[in-house]
Structure 1
């Protein structure tokens, strides 16, 4: 199992902007066969070092993660995130 975590800091951290981006991310659920689970959370602490959104997804294998990366639904998410994100950080690990 591969867990893929991405943190997003948005250019516009308003509640409306964050909510819109959360919906874009959640929209992947059920549309990408390789995506085993998806969780999207928003920051509640709002500290100087906080990111606005956390995306946690799981996949059966690296091959499944690679297929997700090029899937058209995920490519649409990448396009949206390219417009709205200020910064992002990710980690992928095997369990």
Structure 2
């Protein structure tokens, strides 16, 4: 199993209520139903504001590395990536269960 974690930080001056952010969130939430390789998909806004906090997170669970590669190439996922790229910076971690 692979747990795919992405933490997003909105770029300076961009608010959660901005239309581009609302659209990016909508796409992120729908990735789970548009990428068949995903076993589980969780998304949401950070609830506690700290200096080191990121703003939004997605966590996906996939059966293996081949599924992760298919997820990354998925057209709907790539559309979501483009929307987030315009409004945020992010970090990624892919954890392999042993």
* 1:7 alignment counterpart: 7
* 1:94 alignment counterpart: 96
RMSD value over aligned CA atoms? 1.3
SS in 2 for 1:93: strand
Which moves more between the two structures, 60-69 or 42-51?
42-51
SS in 2 for 1:35: coil
Say whether residues 1:46 and 2:49 are aligned partners. yes
2: CA distance, partners of 1:8 / 1:64: 22
Q: Which consecutive segments of 4 or more residues in structure 1 shift more than 4 A?
A: none
Q: Is the 8 A contact 2:3 2:94 kept in 1?
A: yes
Unmatched tracts of structure 1, length 5 or more: none
TM-score with structure 1 setting the length: 0.89
- Using the TM superposition, give the Cα deviation of residue 68 of structure 1 relative to its aligned residue in structure 2, in angstroms: 0.5
1: CA distance, partners of 2:75 / 2:24: 17
2: CA distance, partners of 1:4 / 1:82: 18
1: CA distance, partners of 2:66 / 2:94: 13
Unmatched tracts of structure 2, length 5 or more: none
- Using the TM superposition, give the Cα deviation of residue 30 of structure 1 relative to its aligned residue in structure 2, in angstroms: 1.6
* 2:39 alignment counterpart: 36
